[in-house]
């Protein structure tokens, strides 16, 4: 199967889609890297999603959530490990949540900004601040402060639900690879795409319990779903836009190093330079540190057989992770294609081509060319 002729600079990548390939070349080493890193990522995501959903429910509008990273399992031993940093870096999960909240997008953002949502959450707010006169006064003087905190809780929960699905996809991918069922990059992409499609219609609902009573925050009537209302905004915010990292670019407005419009941001995972990983103030460093604890033996051996061995381990993990994110992006692009790739209808072919070229436009300045060797 071949594509319609395209004059796009990245037309060769569009051809790959039409020929059953992906953005990442299909080589044995790439398969090993991608599956291995997604397997370790799956374990980390499971920890992240448990904590995010815990915070959204157990720490709902808590003024000082000192123990929010402990999932209600507070002990002296865990506190000491936390202070010593012998733990999962849940701060990175919160970073992703805040990036999603800031960039917004989709029906989820529209709903939490609607009058309906504002009216729905007021009983939950009143129940939570009952008996707290100072917070009640704050709510009267600044009526938008607590609703904004609830909106943040929504993203804690929605991202947790998204990652709950993704960690299962990645962990079962690792199991399938170990069983010899996955041997190529296209099979990896198809596995991820199938998982996304299967979960596409999963409802995104969220309720909190306060004093024995349940309060809907994202009710079924909002009709929010996994793929279009959480997964797609996640890809947009984390894979493409992201946020500029402190110490890497200047925040000085006169320096003009950061674009003014949000939709012009290109600081996401698909654009990031792996070399700064390990540096102070670079959020993905926390994720790489978490994943290194779960690297499967075959990937660890692959890293050991390089010139620097583990001296640049976090950079190697970041490079593998970036490759894996191009596989996830390939699955997303293919899963959202407006028409089947084998369509014979001329209009549908044209719509598909415009769709793929639109994605390629966004990847022009990404790391895509650098992961081809």
373 residues of the chain, pLDDT tens digit each: 455 667 778 889 999 999 999 999 999 999 999 999 999 999 999 999 999 999 999 999 998 999 999 999 999 999 999 888 889 999 999 999 999 999 998 899 999 999 999 999 999 999 999 999 999 999 999 999 999 999 999 999 999 999 999 999 999 999 999 999 999 999 999 999 999 999 999 999 999 999 999 999 999 999 999 999 999 999 999 999 999 988 888 888 888 899 988 889 999 999 999 888 877 788 999 999 999 999 999 999 999 988 888 888 999 999 999 999 999 999 999 999 999 999 999 999 999 999 999 999 999 999 999 998 7
Q: Return the DSSP state at 258.
A: S
- Rounded Cα distance between 265 and 244, Å, is 8
The token duo for 309 is 């061995």
243 CB neighbour count, 10 Å cutoff = 18
Annotated domain spans of the chain: 11-371
Give backbone dihedrals phi and psi of 274, rounded to 5 degrees, phi first.
-65, -20
The token duo for 146 is 């607590």
- In terms of phi and psi (left: phi > 0; alpha: psi -120 to 50; beta: otherwise), the region of 143 is alpha
- Rounded Cα distance between 241 and 99, Å, is 9
Q: Return the DSSP state at 238.
A: I
The model carries a pTM of 0.94
The count of C-alpha atoms lying within 13 angstroms of the C-alpha of 95, restricted to the half-sphere facing its C-beta, is 17
Return the C-alpha torsion angle 11, 14, 16, 22, nearest 10: 120
Residue 4: what pLDDT? Answer: 60
- Rounded Cα distance between 40 and 32, Å, is 12
- Rounded Cα distance between 291 and 113, Å, is 35
For the chain, what is the radius of gyration of the CA atoms?
22
- Rounded Cα distance between 282 and 247, Å, is 8
- Rounded Cα distance between 208 and 317, Å, is 37
H-only helix segments in the chain? 11-18, 28-58, 76-83, 90-103, 106-112, 115-129, 133-141, 145-178, 185-199, 226, 232-234, 284-291, 297-304, 313-335, 346-362
8 A C-beta contact, residue 143 and residue 165: no
Residue 278: what pLDDT? Answer: 76
8 A C-beta contact, residue 208 and residue 75: no
């Amino acid at each position: 199967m071949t594509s319609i002729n395209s004059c796009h600079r990245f037309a060769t990548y569009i051809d790959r889609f039409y020929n059953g390939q992906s953005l990442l070349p299909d080589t044995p080493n790439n398969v090993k890297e991608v599956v291995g890193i997604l397997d370790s990522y799956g374990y980390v995501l499971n920890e992240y999603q448990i904590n995010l959903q815990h915070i959204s429910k157990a720490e709902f509008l808590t003024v000082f959530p000192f123990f929010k990273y402990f999932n209600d399992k507070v002990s002296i031993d865990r506190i000491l490990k936390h202070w010593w940093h012998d733990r999962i870096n849940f701060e990175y999960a919160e970073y992703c949540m805040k990036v999603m909240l800031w960039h917004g997008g989709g029906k989820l953002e529209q709903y939490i900004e609607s009058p309906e949502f504002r009216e729905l959450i007021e009983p939950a707010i009143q129940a939570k601040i009952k008996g707290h006169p100072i917070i009640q006064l704050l709510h009267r003087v600044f009526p938008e402060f607590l609703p904004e905190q609830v909106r943040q809780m929504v993203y804690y929960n929605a991202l947790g639900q998204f990652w709950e699905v993704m960690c299962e996809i990645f962990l079962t991918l690792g199991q399938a690879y170990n069983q010899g069922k996955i041997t190529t990059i296209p099979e990896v992409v198809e596995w991820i795409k199938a998982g996304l499609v299967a979960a596409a219609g999963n409802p995104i609902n969220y309720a909190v319990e306060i004093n024995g009573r349940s309060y809907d925050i994202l009710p079924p009537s909002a009709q929010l779903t996994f793929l279009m209302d959480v997964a797609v905004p996640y890809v947009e915010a984390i894979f493409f836009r992201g946020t500029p990292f402190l110490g890497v670019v200047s925040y000085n407005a006169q320096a003009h190093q950061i674009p003014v419009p949000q939709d012009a941001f290109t600081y996401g995972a698909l654009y990031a330079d792996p070399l700064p990983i390990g540096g102070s103030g670079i959020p993905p460093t926390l994720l790489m540190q978490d994943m290194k604890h779960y690297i499967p033996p075959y990937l660890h051996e692959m890293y050991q057989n390089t010139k620097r061995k583990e001296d640049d381990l976090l950079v190697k993990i970041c490079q593998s992770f970036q490759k894996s994110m191009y596989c996830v992006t390939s699955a997303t692009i293919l899963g959202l294609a407006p028409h089947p790739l084998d369509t014979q209808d001329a209009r549908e072919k044209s719509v598909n081509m415009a769709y793929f070229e639109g994605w390629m436009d966004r990847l022009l300045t990404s790391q895509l060319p650098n992961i081809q060797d």
